[in-house]
Chain A
Amino acid sequence: MVNVNCEKVWLEISNYVDGEIEPTLRTAMDEHFRTCKKCASVLAGMRNVIQLYGDERMIEVPAGYGRRLEKRLAQSARERSSGWSTWSAWLIPVAALALIAGGLRFANSLSVGEPLKSEHAQQAHGIPPEMTVVVTADAKIFHVAGCEFIHNKDTIRTLTAKEAMHEGYVPCLRCMRQYLHTADAGHTALGSEASADVDADDEHGRGR
């Protein structure tokens, strides 16, 4: 049995919350939290911080931001399509020339600055619609039963993932991620946000 003191716990507590520590250390820390009120308070407070700041309501945007973004996108799409009709008459010879002159280099130059690190994202599997999940009265988030981020446990209600999504609940980014890490692939995902936010963050084994 490994013993840890408070200082060691404070050094590892963030990794503990993220599931980024070895099982033996986790066991030792679990034991420490049972007996040390100070460290239990630090852990609970840290979870509170993560939960509060992770809430979409913490993001404030300027008034009219979405509308302006939509307008600018529409304008850009129009410019692109009108540009296409204007240039298309002589596009074919230009394209042929570009190919001759080293079209590959031209294509490469279109990439966004540095290469995007999308290879680290994982295949989207989504949440099985019939999976049993729990919700509580004080947040629009659904969890796997037993998730450490469930607040207000007195008001827990059980339902399927599909029902939760119908009712406007969104998946807990912590426990759903963990669940999907071990789940079979091939389920039909319920929605883009569910799979998008849950599938990729497979930190175990990558963030170390």
Chain B
Amino acid sequence: MAEPNVMLNNPAPAGMTREQDLIARVQRGESELFYELVRPYERRVYAAAFAILRNETDAEDVAQEAVLKAFANIRQFRAEARFSTWLIQITVNEALMRRRRERTVVMEAIDDRREEEADYAPRDFADWREIPSEALERKEVRQKLAEALASLDRKYREVFVLRDMEQLNIQETAEALGISVASVKTRLLRARLMLRDLLAGGWEQGWFSRLPFEKGSKPW
């Protein structure tokens, strides 16, 4: 994420955000500022590439290529657009091209030809209790969440990552993946319901056992 204090201490010209100011300056040739512009999003760039490629080396390579491509094309960036979305879309495009080139996903592609299944019925109706975000401080919780996500079929996982982790909107997610808005909505519903059930099951197996929840209640 960006560093608010840095931004407040270096005010941009009137009417411009710090980011808009950085973009304008990079577009005018101050290349050395580009990393400062990208840095708040560099982790999200990697996560987008990893969601599609499922391989750390390839994801980092594509993340670098995407950032370089954004750098080379910064003059084409339109001021009214959202820079992070533009950057993520370049990344998704690069990652999809890499995947097509390497043809490593034959099996998953077959899976993706199946019809959309929207009528997923939730399986777990445990009493719900809020999970404090501090649970994420624990590596094993993050690990379990990552494993649950990785267990989803590709078509659900990619939509979920772009929408709920990368914070693209539904239209942008559809465009980035080259699918319809209706498909995004269907897959997103399915992904969110499946993850909820997967994590509810994990609760019963004690994934979150050291969390400060009341005895007998479930977080989902």
Q: Which residues of A contact B (CB under 8 A)?
A: 7, 10-11, 13-15, 17-18, 20, 37-38, 40-42, 44-46, 48-62, 65-66, 68-70, 72-74, 76-77, 80-81, 110-114, 116-124, 126, 138-139, 141, 151-152, 162, 165-166, 168-170, 173, 188-197, 199-203, 206-208
Contacts and interface: CB of A to CB of B under 8 A. Distances in A.
A170 B131 contact: no
Contacts of B85: 118, 121, 200
Q: Would you list the 7 A-B pairs with minimal beta carbon distance, nearest first?
A: A192-B19, A193-B2, A118-B81, A207-B170, A200-B82, A14-B189, A44-B128
Interface class of chain A by DSSP: helix
Contacts of A162: 8
B1 A55 contact: no
Contacts of B5: 166, 168
Contacts of A202: 169
A113 B93 contact: yes
Contacts, number: 279
B69 A112 contact: yes
24 contacts: A10-B122, A11-B189, A14-B188, A20-B185, A45-B124, A46-B193, A48-B130, A52-B135, A53-B149, A60-B142, A61-B46, A68-B64, A72-B68, A77-B32, A110-B72, A111-B76, A113-B97, A114-B93, A118-B81, A119-B78, A124-B82, A165-B8, A195-B19, A197-B84
Contacts of B145: 52-53, 58
